Structure 1
């Protein structure tokens, strides 16, 4: 995050707090002054970030007052002529998770077959980190756990030795980012997630491609069911 411009840091900060529920929908955003003081910067990048988020429909400008938080109402990943442009965000995420389910289940199977010992060790380290970070979700620290969980998935994708599978993470980063946030936000128990990660890791230890495919498939199916129940 430190490599980003001040404006982009503020944009990410506001988005993350909306996704985590710290900034409630239809509530006022903290003042420009308060945000600027928190980051020890001038109010100019804060104002630019707010203007951008208002243009995107995530915030609503209010004359002589802080903007109102509107949240993520529609998908902004596509051109106006794309069929998904006006889809409800929940509906789109279910569809994007189905795509992840297909790709990552197959990638996990390939990774079990193709991963070197060094790659399996990197997967194991990422797995242990993701489990260790899960207790932070209960404290509202979703960002830390989201990063650790994403690292676990990316190491598996890389170990598949299929460049097309790895490339898809770069093609739809906003979708994956939000998948992680909402998956943690709506989860009522972390035990199921731990069990799924355990099962995925077990498949690597046993070098069992069928177990690997099913473990990842069921893991993402659980997230899909979270979305569909809301």
Structure 2
């Protein structure tokens, strides 16, 4: 028999999975949850506590509770990613990107292509204002492009897996200050990838994604070879 707490947990999960409570946003205060869910405060507290334990929610002392993951799968991956090396995360992410690129070239619709091209344009504009490519604006726009490509695959499981890993990579790359300019940013692989998807050429799309993988690995290797900064 389903308990009231379990029912409340499922309703909160539905709100998260449907996007009503987006990733990274604060959930409604306890009083509002009691009113909207029609249950008591203790039930709400137990449900929220359980979801914090699984990793879907995160309670921040003195601030509130935030959506940390969008599904049980996402939450499990986030727990695993906290102990993963950047190189391992990058390998998995780029493997997904290569497969998604080929599939997207076959499955993409006109709306998918429009999102990819729009994201590519936004990436170019961000690079113009941030030529070093290490600022948060460029990193966000770069990931938007890859998200659009993965979404065009039409595979929801691939999208969920990529979203989980992409966030971890995004936060890791944000801390890097060298290694990425040149090889990754100005190589033209993103343009080649978008063009291949537009032409519905899966082989060319996979080649472009592979070239990006090669460039990203070279950039990571160069970053590792840099001497540590001298304290000022």
TM-score by length of 1: 0.57
Aligned equivalent of 1:224: 217
Task: Decide whether the 8 Å contact of 1:94 with 1:228 is kept in 2.
Answer: no
User: What is the alpha-carbon distance in structure 2 between the residues aligned to residue 227 and residue 190 of structure 1?
Assistant: 10
| Stretch moving more, 120-129 or 191-200 | 191-200
* Residue-by-residue CA offset, 1:44-84 (whole Å, 9 max, x unaligned): x9x989xxxxxxxxxxxxxxxxxxxxxxxxxxx546xx9x8
| Shift in Å, 1:183 | 6.7
5+ residue gaps, structure 2 = 1-23, 27-59, 64-77, 225-232
TM-superposed CA distance for 1:185, in Å, is 4.1
Over the aligned positions, Cα root-mean-square deviation in angstroms equals 3.3
Native 8 Å contact 2:183 2:219 kept in 1: no
Aligned partner of 1:203 in structure 2 is 196
- Partner residue of 1:165? 158
1: distance between equivalents of 2:181 and 2:146? 21
How is 1:100-119 mapped onto 2 (pairs within 5 angstroms)? Answer: 100-119=93-112
Corresponding residue for residue 99 of structure 1: 92
Q: 1:83-107: CA deviations, max 9, x gaps?
A: x83x6xxxx1111111112111010
- Per-residue CA distance 1:177-230 (angstroms, 9 max, x = gap): 135425774224277545111111121232110110111122122112211232
Paired residues, number: 155
Matches within 5 A, 1:68-217: 78=79, 85=83, 92-138=85-131, 142-181=135-174, 185-189=178-182, 193-217=186-210
TM-score (norm 2): 0.56
Q: Quick check: 1:114–1:159 contact (8 Å CA) kept in 2? A: yes
Contact 2:184 2:215 in 1 (8 A): no
C-alpha spacing 1:102/1:141, structure 2 compared with 1 (3 Å):
closer
In structure 2, how many angstroms separate the alpha carbons of the residues matched to 1:202 and 1:140? 22
Residue matched to 2:38: none
Q: Which runs of 4+ in 1 moved over 3 A?
A: 138-141, 182-185, 190-194
Distance change >3 Å, CA 136–CA 215, structure 1 → 2: same
Are 2:89 and 2:165, in contact at CA under 8 Å, matched by a contact in 1? Answer: no
| Whole-Å separation in 2 of the counterparts to 1:214 and 1:190 | 16
SS of 2:131 mapped into structure 1: helix
Alignment CA distance shift 1:191-1:140 (3 Å): closer
Mark the CA change 1:171 to 1:217 in structure 2 (over 3 Å): closer, same or farther: same
